[in-house]
Structure 1
């Protein structure tokens, strides 16, 4: 696997008078506490995860998709456990474990979502409080999958992390592509964060 090793540069929101920050202060604080910093890019670990996922075949013969958007997200954020630093705006904020191997045994589920969205989908991590699987598609859009349905978290990982850490209510996916149609249904993640069962059929 060959990847671009150019390190992206992002403005530091702590510099007064600097460019517009990439993340809001609560999200930036939570990410830095987890070990992230601008320019973080562990491509070697991302390639290990990519190889592990490619090598896995479910008992039903399902395989994982691996693509550049997923590898880049793993390289920058993989291995971090991001814990919110304050209350959520609309719902309880989520603690996020950004390890794609949480989805190792979810190849069938992710493949089904990818076919419904006419794209490829790879695992991204886990919401540890309610065991929702986080996933990313080939365009960089991020989703959560749990026992109540499939949820659109944003057009890229920055938006998704902001929604999760700040407790912003996501929207339920319909049968259409998320940027075309989303339903008015809201995800069952209340301020009290009810305990939910393990959501998916393992395949």
Structure 2
């Protein structure tokens, strides 16, 4: 049994990640580069393109392909099941571009939050990362700031902590 106290994550977050197949040192740069190429090559009908930058490629390399399920009830909201696959945001180049401009940065898709609807998983929100590594969630109710980095975002999402809603006034 691995010593969960020696990782960078709190025990409950570490356990959920390991259950999904993550381990310290996990690094699939080949998959991350394939996603980067696909996103760079995609142009929306309106001519919008995705941004790809080092912070998000590193997140894809470490967490790409994982489906992380929260180990319990949320603190403030229901925790999400996370799926790290940026292609779930392939057709959102304009949406992410618009939000990036509003935040004075660039955004790239990271994956999605899934909700359970009738026993089937369906997309609840798209996750995105900016050039500084900050993580956001975009859903039908608005745009949310999830964390200053991937580790903080994982803690917020897996523990069901309420993220901060982005508003037009800041």
TM-score after normalising by structure 1:
0.77
The correspondence of residues 6-155 of structure 1 with structure 2, limited to 5 A, is 14=4, 18=6, 21-129=7-115, 130-155=123-148
Is the contact made by 2:4 and 2:14 (CA closer than 8 Å) also made in structure 1?
Answer: no
Separation in structure 2 between the aligned mates of residue 45 and residue 13 of structure 1, nearest angstrom = 28
Is the contact made by 1:13 and 1:22 (CA closer than 8 Å) also made in structure 2?
Answer: no
Separation in structure 1 between the aligned mates of residue 54 and residue 76 of structure 2, nearest angstrom = 33
Is the contact made by 1:13 and 1:25 (CA closer than 8 Å) also made in structure 2?
Answer: no
Separation in structure 1 between the aligned mates of residue 140 and residue 151 of structure 2, nearest angstrom = 24
Q: How many residues align?
A: 162
Q: By percentage of residues, which structure has more helix?
A: 2
**Structure 1 stretches of 4+ moved >3 Å:** none
Deviation at 1:25, TM superposition (A): 1.0
The RMSD of aligned alpha carbons is 1.3
Gapped regions of structure 2 (runs ≥ 5): 116-122
Is the contact made by 1:13 and 1:23 (CA closer than 8 Å) also made in structure 2?
Answer: no
Pick from 146, 153, 161: which aligns with 1:160?
A: 153
**Counterpart in the other structure of 1:184:** none
**Counterpart in the other structure of 1:171:** 164
Separation in structure 1 between the aligned mates of residue 80 and residue 114 of structure 2, nearest angstrom = 8
Separation in structure 1 between the aligned mates of residue 3 and residue 164 of structure 2, nearest angstrom = 29
**Counterpart in the other structure of 2:119:** none
Larger Rg belongs to: 1
Gapped regions of structure 1 (runs ≥ 5): 1-11, 182-203
- What do the CA deviations read for 1:53-90 (whole angstroms, capped 9, x no partner)? 00000000000000000100000001000001111111
Is the contact made by 1:50 and 1:66 (CA closer than 8 Å) also made in structure 2?
Answer: yes
Task: Give the direction of change, closer, same or farther, for the CA distance of 1:13–1:162 in structure 2 (3 Å limit).
Answer: farther
